[in-house]
Amino acid sequence: MAVVLACLTILGTILAIAVLERPVPSKENDSCTNGSSFDSCSMALVESIPLYMGYNGNATFGVPLVKTWEGLIAMATQQLDVVSFYWTLTGDDIGVNCSSANPGRDILNALGALPARNVSVRLLTSKPSVQTNSTDFKDLQQKGVQVREVDFGRLTDGVLHSKFWIVDRKHFFIGSANMDWRALTQVKELGVAIYNCSTLAIDLEKIFTSYWEMGLPNSTLPDRWPSKYDTNITKLRPLLVKEDNVSSQIYMTGSPPAFCSISRTQDIDAILSIISQAQHYVDVAVMEYVPMIRFQMPQKYWPVLDDAIKAAAFEKKVKVRMLISCGRDSPPEMLPYLQSLAALDSQSVHISIKILFIVPVGNQTDIPYTRVNHNKYMVTDKVAYIGTSNWSGDYFTTTGGVGIVISQRAPHVMWEKALQSQLKTVFDRDWNSDYAVYLDKLGHHPDCALAT
C-alpha cells in the first residue's frame, strides 16, 4: 500500500509540473490555441556599443543592435509594429554628416521597403516628443507606412517613452534604444530580442494596441480598460518556457497606471518586488536615477525606489551596485541623491551600496546627445529585468514604459547560456571597465556634467 501511495504521489507531482510548464494561453489566437503545446521562445541579449569604446579582448557582448533590427525587418512577412519615443534615423535630422549615421538610414530604407512586400507597418511615437527636423515619418508614409502620435501630454501629462518592436505577432524586441541612428553607433544601449514566442508577442501587442487606439484624434483614457486588454501573464502567474535545459519564467510590465489594464503588473511594482526578493545582490544600470517627480510642477520628493534599495541593503544585507550614466547632459539634481546612497556604504555595519558612473567617452563627442550609457536594466541573484524607463518618479506615474522580467534556472554547465547570466556578465564587464568611475573620483571629468 505504501508503494502504491508513493507512486501516486510521484505521478501527481509529474502531472503538476506538466501543467505548470504549459504556456498561459492568451484570449487571442496564438500558437497554443492553434495546437502547439509550447512556444520555443529563444532569447538574445542585444547591445549597442559606441564606436571607439574599446574593451579588453576577453569582454563579452550582446548581439549588435543593428543586426537585431535588420534581422527583425528581414523576418517580417505580415506585420511590423514599432514604438519609439522619437524618430531620427538620418544624420540630416540634426545637421550631422558622418558615416556613423549610415546604419540608421539603412534601417529607414528597409522599413520603407516593407509595404511593397505586403507587410503592414504601424509606427508610434510620442506627442510631445524630442524636437528634431526629422522627415522619417513623411518619407515612410509616402511608402504606405501607417503612423500615429500619442498625445501623452494631454492624456497623462507625460510622454510615450516605450521602445519596442513586434514582428508577425511572434518575435519582439524591448530595450533602451529609440529609433535614432545614434542608438546604433554613438550611444550605449541594451535590450532583449525574443523569437518564436507568440504568447508573449501577443501580450505585448495588447500594450501596442492601447497606444494605437489612444493615438486617434480626441481619444480619451477609459476609466477601466476593456477585457481585450487584460493579461493572464503577470508577476503572480508568469509564462513558463523551457529551451536548451534553461527554464524561464517571464512576464511583461507597463506604466503609467492609467495605461495599464487592471490585470497588468505595473512596472514599479515589478521593480520593487525584484529588489525586495533579492537575497545576495542587486545590480542596477540606468541612465538617470533621481527620486523626484521632476517634470511636473511643483516638483515632489519620490522616495519609492530609494527606500527599497536602502531596505534591501540594511535589512537583508544585500550588496547593491549602481552603474549610472554621466554625460554632458546629465541632470545635476542626480548628484546629491546618489551621494546620500553612497554615504550608507559601510563595512562596519555590513551595508554595501556602491555607485559608479560610466562615462563612455570617445572621439565623437561633437555629436549632440551621444556618449551616454542609455541602459535601463537590473539583474539580481533571482531575476533579470530590462526596461525602457529611467529611475525617477515621472517614468512610473505619468510616462509610458514597458519592462520584461525573466527568472531562469539551468544546470551549472548550461548557466552561461541563460540570458540572466549573460546580463550579469555584461554588468560586471562595465563595472570593471576603464569607463567606470567612483563617485568620489569624478574630479573635473570633461565629459561628465556632474564632475566637480
> Which secondary structure element, helix H or strand E, spans residue 391, and what is its range?
strand 391-392
Which of 433, 440, 283, 282 is CA-nearest to residue 359?
433
Annotated catalytic residue 350: no
**Catalytic residue selected from 30, 81, 93, 161:** 161
CA angle (300, 304, 309) in 5-degree steps: 135
> Which secondary structure element, helix H or strand E, spans residue 286, and what is its range?
strand 281-286
Cell numbers at 201, concatenated: 508577442
Give the pairing type, strands 146-150 and 239-243.
Answer: unpaired
Query: Number of C-alpha atoms within 13 angstroms, CB side, residue 274?
Result: 32
User: Could you tell me the maximum CA-CA distance found in the chain, to the nearest angstrom?
Assistant: 82
**Catalytic residue selected from 168, 345, 381, 428:** 168
Annotated catalytic residue 280: no
Which of 106, 111, 163, 170 is CA-nearest to residue 142?
111
Contact 281/318 with Cβ under 8 angstroms? Answer: yes
Q: Which residues contact 102 (CB under 8 A, 6 or more apart)?
A: none
Annotated catalytic residue 445: no
Annotated catalytic residue 374: yes
**Catalytic residue selected from 39, 163, 170, 171:** 163
- In 50-194, alpha helices (H): 65-75, 102-113, 136-141, 152-155, 181-185
**Catalytic residue selected from 188, 319, 374, 376:** 374
Catalytic residue positions, numbered? 161, 163, 168, 374
